[in-house]
Structure 1
Amino acid sequence: MARTARGAIMAMDSAADLDERNRGADVAVTASYIGVLPARLAMEYAPRAVIGFDGGVGPEGVGIAGLWYYEALNVPAAAVDVMTIILGDGIDAYHNGRISFANRPARDCGVDIGMPAHEAAMLMLENDPATPGAYGVTNRTIVEDGPDGRKVIVTDSIVFGTDEDRRNVLVTAGHTGRSGARHIETVGPFGFICSDGGMGRNNSGIAGLPITNELGIAGATVDARTARLGDGMSTYRDGTISAANDLALACGVTVGMPAREAAHYLVNRKAV
């Protein structure tokens, strides 16, 4: 579909159509769903980047699960909305597909949701993703300003907290078990919202709540069924509070409350 000094954009009806000619240089725009199986087939030939369709996402996100397979390999990948394309027709996917999901390496290249597939493919051909270490992808975002210089900070894990967060409320996406509480204690935020991790046996996913309460840190958890583990913005946008310690309850946090509302109460809690 296009060629530059860096490689080509190749439209293909199936991820199984990649071959040795595509290795390391080409962007493959396929009319396969972008799950793990097609990702394995495509990565046999290590293309520069891949676009597939989202398959309606499906149970457990299987239709787009390959995005994270590719992300772990730092390969840009994106999905187009299946309703914008003709299945099995790679050229149609290239011309008419609209991006519905993109992984972090693809976003590094400039790919965004709603973008035409042909534009996304060119961005992935002409740009390289960043190569951050494991602790370099934090997705740290300020979502609310509170009193006395406090802020609500969203990040993907409590381990990404910094010294400045001793005055902030952290919204993260790891569990709040015993090890989670240890990391919360190390960071020492003004308040926190994490995940209950699915609760676990003996409610071990929220075992950190009484521990942090004793430390004077107000905190709560969201139901892991409502927000994606490892995705702090999902905790903030999608999460529903499943449990809270006494300090958080005292400042107005309640079970069933949206996480963003709970974060507002926590950041406005009076310092003691």
Structure 2
Amino acid sequence: MTERRVAPRLGEFLRARRARVRPEDHGMPAGTRRTPGLRREEVAMLAGISTDYYIRLEQGRDRHPSQQVVQALAEALLLEDEASAYLRGLAEPGPSQRSRRTRHQEYASPGLVSLMDAWPRTPALVYGRYMDLLAANTLGEALFSWLGEETNLLRAIFLMPPARAFYRDWARIGEGCVAALRAANIDPDDPRLVELVGELCVNSPEFARLWGRQEVRAKTAEIKRLTHPDVGELSLRFENLTVPSAPGQHLVVYHAEPGSREDQALALLGSYAATPASDSHASRRQDLAAEDGPAAEKGIR
């Protein structure tokens, strides 16, 4: 990210988040307003800076707000921790380490793949920084069989009709995934991110609207309500775990209460998938990684 690009991205974020804060949230009267959210002068007052300086930030005429100003703006805009961290990243002066990152394909480590394959009754998947599916064990592949050849979860959710049948809370799932994509990618000029976001904005009005909200939120544990074409409705516990050895990657695990209907349904789904001739996505992708080699940064996408 060059200095020239920092300020416009910062301004976009400030404008979008300002529009989402109600005057009542700060104990101020709403009055009559032409547009939703706080006025620029109100944000400036709450942050303890001049209105002119805040306007320069939104318009991209000031490039490097201090850490103190950034923190004051985060408080004025009622940003949570992840959104505050994202704002700090946008305000960093000069090229960041993230920007110097060369474009390459991610891969799941063989050790992690082997660990997932040892969980025959637990659907497990690994997603990368851009929500590309990097690996899945047998039950994880069976649970997400509707993906077919698609390897990117965001493209699947917003561009594939089966996603709306699979996720019973499709709107909430889509919103959370868009927020998680932004949380994992502070550098908005990353070539892979630009390509993916551009494709989705062109082809999905829902994605474009959500991306414009500038929501920043990592995925957390919750209950996912799904409808699988083979075993019907499922309510599964969802755990999203970071992979310390591979920043940006996440191990996603679904599980059911022992003895529950969902537990029996997963066992049935596993029996469908466990045929002698079928290997899991994880094993097939591990073979690809072994053939091409991590050093070549190939093998799994």
TM-score of the aligned structures, taking structure 1 as reference length: 0.36
Higher helix share: 2
Higher strand share: 1
